[in-house]
Amino acid sequence: MATPRAWQKMLSGRRLDLLDPTPVDIEIEDIAHGLSFVARWNGQTVGDFAYSVAEHSLLVERLFARMTPRAPAKWRLAALLHDAPEYVIGDMISPVKNAVGPGYDELDKRLVAAIHIRFGLPATLPPAIKKKIKKADKISAWMEATEIAGFSIAEADRFFGKPDPEVIGDLAIDLRPPTLVRADYTARHHALIAEIG
C-alpha cells in the first residue's frame, strides 16, 4: 500500500510537506493567496464576502501595533503571520480544534516554526510577545463576533473578554473581495520586511 500523501502543491510551484515543512518551501504569495480564500467562522458571517483569515490577520497586526506602539517591525510581522499555517490547514473553529486534540497543535507548531524561520523570526516567539498577539487576536474575534457573526455584546464579552474601546477606536470589520485582501496582505508583509531591513 502506498504511503498517504502528506504534502500540498502550491500555486508558486512549491511542494510543502505538512509533516516536515521546510522554510525553503514557503512563499508569502502562497500564504496570502491561501489565507485570503479561507473563511473565518466557517463562513457563518453576514455580507457578500466571507471574512477571510488574511483580513483578520491584517486587523490583528493593526490592533497589536496600537497596543504595543514601540514594538519592533519583527513582532508586528509575527502578528501578521500569527495564523499563517491556516493557508494549508484551514481555519478550524475552537470547538473543532478541541475535538481533534493534540495532533492539530503539533501540525500547527511545525508549520509556525518553518514560516517564522523563512521570514527571519525565531521559530518560537517569546512568551510575552505571543501573549500580546493573542490578546490582539481575541479583540479581533470580539469585533468579528459582534459585527458580522451574530453574537451579542454580552456573549462576545463572555467568550473573548471586553476590549478596551481606545484600542478598537475607529477600526471596523471590512468585507472585501479575496483578491484585494490578498494584495493588501502581501503589501503589508513586504512593508514590514523592508522595515526590518
Share of the chain above pLDDT 90, in %: 80
pLDDT in tens, 79-132: 999 999 999 988 876 777 777 777 778 888 999 999 999 999 999 999 999 999
Q: Mean per-residue pLDDT for 162-188? A: 96
Average pLDDT rounded to a whole number, residues 144-169:
96
Q: For residue 2, what pLDDT band results from cuts at 50, 70 and 90?
A: low
Any domain includes 15: no
Q: What is the pLDDT of residue 91?
A: 80
Distance of CA 166 to the CA centre of its chain: 23
pLDDT of the residue at 192: 98
* Residue 5 domain flag: no
Provide the pLDDT for residue 29. Answer: 97
pLDDT of residue 1: 67
CATH number of 116's domain: 1.10.3210.10
Residue 19 in any domain: the answer is no
In a domain, 18, yes or no: no
pLDDT score at 19 = 84
Range of the domain at 34: 25-196
| pLDDT for the residue numbered 21 | 92
Give the pTM.
Answer: 0.93
Which pLDDT does position 197 carry in this prediction? 83
Q: How many domains does the chain have?
A: 1
Output the average pLDDT for the chain.
Answer: 93
pLDDT of residue 178 exceeding 80, the answer is: yes
pLDDT at 65: 97
138 domain-assigned: yes
For residue range 32-59, what is the model confidence (pLDDT) as tens digits?
Answer: 999 999 999 999 999 999 999 999 999 9
